[in-house]
Structure 1
Amino acid sequence: MFGGIPARNGVNAALPIHLGATGVDDVFSGSDNFLMAFGPEANPAGLIEGLGKRFEITQTNIKKWTVGSPIQAPLDALQAIQQKHPFRLDELAKVVVRIATSEAKTVNDRNMQDISLQQMVAVMLVDKTVSFRAAHDKARVEEPDIVRERAKIELVPDERLERLYPQLVAVVEVTLHSGATYTQRIDAVRGTVQNPMTREEVVAKCRDLMDPFLGGAQSKGLVDAVLNLDAVSNLGLLRPLLQRRK
């Protein structure tokens, strides 16, 4: 959805030109320009502010987990606890997740797996990660291991965290049958500008999405080509790497 619509708009913009249509050289100039139509109160000087020095693409957030945004921080927190304090599932008594009240409404026990906090936290408990496939596997909703761990999860809407919104903050507390309790707070979600992923993590995310459709070898070739785009003499060479082979 997110990638398809901009691509469609680009094609739709190019087709009239291909068919001979004409247009203005600069949509931001003239009496009936883009800004007058869409932002009459805008400051035109902002278009060139920091030009050549500030690059907005470097302010891009990348989702580490293929789940609803309010679930990102809880998964970060739970994974951190699992790594710092490894525990067996039969040792686990309860998991309490605190997020902003408005976020909780969005992800509380939803039917869609990838925006159900309880389902995704249960997957993280069982798999120690959340892959794209696991996040969208409807059958796993009824998987015995998932059902058992899901029953241990409590979602708490937190007004204090609501006051921090739109910053996505989560506090996860894991309690074991032994009485041991581990707490992790996440203030900057992994993949955001404040806590960016490493190149290796970004590649791993891409491979998780592409490998099932393109195959491991082709996905690796595409990643290598994109990471060395300045050395690609003809962008048409990327097309075979983007096409799923029969």
Structure 2
Amino acid sequence: MSESMTLSLARYAASTSLERIPEEVRERAKQVILDELASAHFGREQPAGTLAAQYVAGLGGLPEARVLGTSLRVSAPLAALANGTAGHADEIDGAHVVGGHPGATLVHAAVAMAERQSATGAELLNAVVLGYDIGVRLIEACGGLFGVKERHHLNADFLHAVAAAVASSRLMGLAAERYCHAMALATFQASGLVALFQEKRHISKAFCNGQYAMAGVSAALMAATGFEGCDDILGDPHGLLDAWGAEGASEVVTRGLGRDFAVTGANFKFVRAGYPIHAPVEAALSLVARHAIGTGTISAVEVGMPARALRVVDDRRMRNICLQDMLAVALLRGGLKLSETPFPTVLDDPAFAPLRARITLVVNPLLEAQAPHGRGALVTIRTQDGRTVSERVDHPRGHSARGGVTWDELTAKWHEASPEQDVDSWIAGARRLDDLEHVGQLSNLFTNSRSAALIRGSRCRSSSPSMP
């Protein structure tokens, strides 16, 4: 009898090691880990990050892993929840060419479990590379980000919970059969209807990634305890691929494992906004600078995009995933600063609403034909004196197709976003991650005792009985 698909994948996962990963892939994984940890530290001060920290602080449990941006330590599943939520709290975390935000789930699940297991930096690197390989392939097997969204009305990032279970199982050193159960148990704990994108404050959108991280860590712990699930959650009737898989799904899951590393497709953000907004902002600012266009002289801005990307950012209620809002701010202020939240203060600028009203989104036939799943844009600006200028950006800065990022670029990004922090220590710790004896040597750099005090104070106030 042939081995099941899930067990084959589990045996591969259990056999992985850092020594088998090429140096350039290790380097990209270090950059991803640094960027995601910094994103969670940054996002701790945002509404979703603050709420998540307050929530887990009140639940107790063993002090196994750090809540980044605080001095708090909680159980590994709760740390994964809090850090994954903070990591995607303000759209500064990385994305991926396949789509979604794998790092906000996978990195924080792996770091929390690595801390619990007193794992080395090398073991963490291997687990993160492995998690990307599984999660990205599962999304591809189910038709990609937009395929999952359009066919099943689900946020495709939920599939990273299964990958987080695999990464966590690897860090725990489980037997391959236990990986199978962990993958199945993760599916019970992760979901996310696309309706979540209709919220206003980017709270449940961030919480999803934290929930998926917690699901992966919890599933591995449950499997280690003896909990069982379907032996072949991927291949069985009514299993994952039967429910959500696209044509040829089973081949996609294992194609190129050990050779084509999905983490190399990670993209880095230099704008605090939904990823389809980045190319339009870059193109528009380039046009304004090159042609010396004053904001007050703009009569119209047309942004041509692929249809699917357009639907993600067209007139959304969440301002940082609304292209009209963010592009209007960028044009008014000459850019989007990483250290600045433009809303609600920009609403008091009398020039904001009229400029926003001049921004139109359209489907660009050429981009739709050439890159229907892409994040490119063709921006055309018309001025009151009759000029019309255009610029196309296929891949925004930080995109893997443009070579990803350098360490100098990441250093500059986080100095700008978090000028009060010791960013140079963050970078140095991440760059020598494969030599660290304990992952805590890196995560301990992302501490803020002031935040911890605020969280403890809030917890005490919320648990105290009201006084007459």
Unaligned residue ranges in structure 1 (runs of 5+): none
Change (3 A) 1:185 1:241: same
Q: How many angstroms does 1:151 deviate by?
A: 3.3
Give the counterpart of 2:299 among 76, 86, 93: 93
Q: What is aligned with 1:195?
A: 402
1:184 paired to 2:380 = no
For the 8 Å contact 2:332–2:352, the answer to whether it is kept is yes
What is the CA–CA distance in structure 1 between the aligned matches of 2:387 and 2:395, rounded to whole Å?
26
1:103 paired to 2:309 = yes
For the 8 Å contact 2:274–2:313, the answer to whether it is kept is yes
Give the counterpart of 1:141 among 347, 364, 375: 347
TM-score by length of 1: 0.76
Q: Secondary structure at the residue paired with 1:114?
A: helix
Q: Secondary structure at the residue paired with 2:378?
A: strand
Q: What do the CA deviations read for 1:192-228 (whole angstroms, capped 9, x no partner)?
A: 221234323334444555x27xx322x3322331123
What is the CA–CA distance in structure 2 between the aligned matches of 1:117 and 1:242, rounded to whole Å?
31
Change (3 A) 1:9 1:36: same
Q: What do the CA deviations read for 1:39-94 (whole angstroms, capped 9, x no partner)?
A: 4775479637352x432211223333332233222112113223433333233333
For the 8 Å contact 2:300–2:382, the answer to whether it is kept is yes
Q: What is aligned with 1:61?
A: 267
Q: What is aligned with 1:77?
A: 283
1:33 paired to 2:238 = no
Aligned residues: 234
Change (3 A) 1:235 1:85: same
1:115 paired to 2:321 = yes
One-letter identity of the residue aligned with 2:256: E
For the 8 Å contact 2:266–2:404, the answer to whether it is kept is no
Unaligned residue ranges in structure 2 (runs of 5+): 1-84, 89-103, 105-209, 243-247, 451-468
One-letter identity of the residue aligned with 2:438: N
One-letter identity of the residue aligned with 2:409: E
What is the CA–CA distance in structure 1 between the aligned matches of 2:414 and 2:308, rounded to whole Å?
30
Q: What do the CA deviations read for 1:95-139 (whole angstroms, capped 9, x no partner)?
A: 221223443343233332112211111111122222356566233
For the 8 Å contact 1:119–1:141, the answer to whether it is kept is no
For the 8 Å contact 1:113–1:135, the answer to whether it is kept is no
Query: Which aligned pairs between 1:155-174 and structure 2 lie closer than 5 A?
Result: 155-163=361-369, 164-174=371-381
| Alpha-carbon RMSD | 3.3
Q: Secondary structure at the residue paired with 1:161?
A: helix
What is the CA–CA distance in structure 1 between the aligned matches of 2:336 and 2:375, rounded to whole Å?
19
Give the counterpart of 1:131 among 331, 337, 340: 337
Change (3 A) 1:45 1:240: closer
Change (3 A) 1:16 1:168: closer
What is the CA–CA distance in structure 2 between the aligned matches of 1:88 and 1:115, rounded to whole Å?
25
Q: What is aligned with 1:244?
A: 448
Over the matched positions of the two proteins, sequence identity in percent amounts to 25
What is the CA–CA distance in structure 1 between the aligned matches of 2:388 and 2:341, rounded to whole Å?
27
